[in-house]
Structure 1
Amino acid sequence: MAPILLAFLLGLSQGLLHALGPDHCAAMATLGTLGGGRRRVAIMTALRFALGHAAMLGGIAAVCLVAGVGLSETFERWAEVFGGAVLVALAVTALLFPHSLDHGHPHLPGHDREPHEHVHTVSTAAGAFMAVSGVRSLLIALPPLLVGGSMSLSAWTYLPGFALGILIGMGAVGLLFAEGLSRANARLNLWIQRGVALGSGALGLFWIGSRLV
């Protein structure tokens, strides 16, 4: 198999695994509940999260590749603390302000009541912020860095594969979560939202505590 294709497929598989991390799933689930149980909104939220995540990861990794630099364990530890804080912030928002991202103004006849564009902005930003904690792992995994070829073409095929894997993985999670929400009634959705938010906040606190010990 050609090295370029191998690097792309390796990046794709690593991106899929990365997308299914517990912190990412918790964040996407929390954001998904803010869409009011709408299938299309939950899927778009997951995709926006994935786009922000992939763009931040790829951007920082590309800069490091060009500059030929790596990141320290200290950076990774504090980046993971930051990721945990993002989870806690999302959980608090979902618990205390469950409708803060919904429309707050009337619609004209014939227009659907969809959550505000803010939910997409927040999901993109959350995906980007949480990507910071995974940059060092991505750089370590990049085959070109392991052999010292920072400008190798394989590096640039690995990164698109990794980004595509993230989009597919997070999109699939969003689809499954949206399907579940669409089958539940409004009362059950409220309890699901609270449970997801509490779980996400607990995971974020655990994430922070485990990195500070």
Structure 2
Amino acid sequence: MQPILLAFLLGLSQGMLHAVGPDHCAAMATLGTLGGGRRRAAIATAVRFALGHAAMLGGIAAVCILAGVGLSETFERWAEIFGGAVLVALAVAALIFPSSLGHGHPHLPGHTQEPHQHVHTVSTTAGALMAVSGVRSLLLALPPLLVGGSMSAAAWMYLPGFALGILIGMGVVGLIFAEGIARLNAQITLWVQRTVAVGSAALGLFWMGSRLMGE
């Protein structure tokens, strides 16, 4: 197998595994339930979250590699705490202001803003912010780029493969939640939204607490 293809496939598989991490699934579930079971909205939300996530991960990783800068365990711990805080903030917003995230502010006559533009914007931002906690792990997965100053084309193909894996993984997760929500009535959907938001907040708090206790 060609080294370029091997690096791409390795990145693809690792990206898909990264996408289905518990914090990412919690964020996708929180955002996905706000779409009311609309498959197109759920997929769009997942793709935007994944794009923000992959762009931030790849951007920071590329800068660190080109600059020859490494990231410490201390940075990773505080980055994970930050990621937990983002998940908590997202869950609280979805729990208290679901209409604002899902549909935006009341529209004036003639206002043509896309109904779900707000949740798309939030999903892109949340994806980018939550990516910070995974940068060090990504850098450690790229030894061909970090050892001896090697920067072969084959090694660099890991990054687009990783990004595509994130897109595929998060897209599948978003679609699964949309399919489940679509089969529920409005009242049950409301309770599912609240339950998912509370669960996501609990996971974020646990994530933060475990990292702080491990300091």
- TM-score for the superposition, normalised by structure 2: 0.92
Task: Tell me if the contact between 2:36 and 2:178 (Cα under 8 Å) persists in the aligned partners.
Answer: no
Any idea what the Cα deviations from partners look like across 1:8-35, whole Å, max 9, x if unmatched?
Answer: 1110000000000000000011011222
Aligned runs of 1:7-26 on 2, under 5 Å?
7-26=7-26
* Partner residue in 2 for 1:125: 125
Aligned runs of 1:12-161 on 2, under 5 Å?
12-101=12-101, 102-103=103-104, 104-105=106-107, 115-145=115-145, 147-161=147-161
Sequence identity, in percent? Answer: 80
Mean Cα deviation higher: 37-46 or 124-133: 37-46
Task: Tell me if the contact between 2:33 and 2:177 (Cα under 8 Å) persists in the aligned partners.
Answer: no
Does the residue aligned with 2:157 lie in a helix, a strand or coil?
A: helix
Any idea what the Cα deviations from partners look like across 1:134-157, whole Å, max 9, x if unmatched?
Answer: 000000011314533442212320
Letter in 1 for 2:32: G
Give the Å deviation of 1:169: 0.3
Hey, what's the Cα distance between the residues in 1 that align with 2:115 and 2:36? 8
Mean Cα deviation higher: 130-139 or 37-46: 37-46
Task: Tell me if the contact between 1:81 and 1:207 (Cα under 8 Å) persists in the aligned partners.
Answer: yes
Mean Cα deviation higher: 99-108 or 14-23: 99-108
Task: Tell me if the contact between 1:65 and 1:151 (Cα under 8 Å) persists in the aligned partners.
Answer: no
Instruction: Please give the root-mean-square deviation of Cα atoms over the aligned residues, in Å.
Output: 1.7
Task: Tell me if the contact between 2:145 and 2:156 (Cα under 8 Å) persists in the aligned partners.
Answer: no
Hey, what's the Cα distance between the residues in 2 that align with 1:191 and 1:202? 16
Does the residue aligned with 2:203 lie in a helix, a strand or coil?
A: helix
Q: Gaps (5+ residues) in structure 1? A: none
Q: Gaps (5+ residues) in structure 2? A: none
Task: Call closer, same or farther: CA 1:203–1:150 in 2, change over 3 Å.
Answer: farther
Task: Call closer, same or farther: CA 1:86–1:130 in 2, change over 3 Å.
Answer: same
Any idea what the Cα deviations from partners look like across 1:26-57, whole Å, max 9, x if unmatched?
Answer: 00110112223322111110110000000000
Does the residue aligned with 1:100 lie in a helix, a strand or coil?
A: helix
Hey, what's the Cα distance between the residues in 1 that align with 2:157 and 2:90? 33
* Partner residue in 2 for 1:182: 182
Does the residue aligned with 1:34 lie in a helix, a strand or coil?
A: helix
Task: Tell me if the contact between 1:20 and 1:170 (Cα under 8 Å) persists in the aligned partners.
Answer: yes
Task: Call closer, same or farther: CA 1:145–1:31 in 2, change over 3 Å.
Answer: same
Hey, what's the Cα distance between the residues in 1 that align with 2:115 and 2:192? 18
Task: Tell me if the contact between 1:181 and 1:189 (Cα under 8 Å) persists in the aligned partners.
Answer: yes
Hey, what's the Cα distance between the residues in 2 that align with 1:193 and 1:210? 26
Mean Cα deviation higher: 177-186 or 50-59: 177-186
Hey, what's the Cα distance between the residues in 1 that align with 2:149 and 2:2? 17
**What is the total number of aligned residue pairs between the two structures?**
210
Any idea what the Cα deviations from partners look like across 1:151-195, whole Å, max 9, x if unmatched?
Answer: 221232000000000000000101111111111111111011011
Hey, what's the Cα distance between the residues in 2 that align with 1:150 and 1:29? 40
Task: Tell me if the contact between 1:7 and 1:143 (Cα under 8 Å) persists in the aligned partners.
Answer: no
Task: Call closer, same or farther: CA 1:105–1:60 in 2, change over 3 Å.
Answer: same
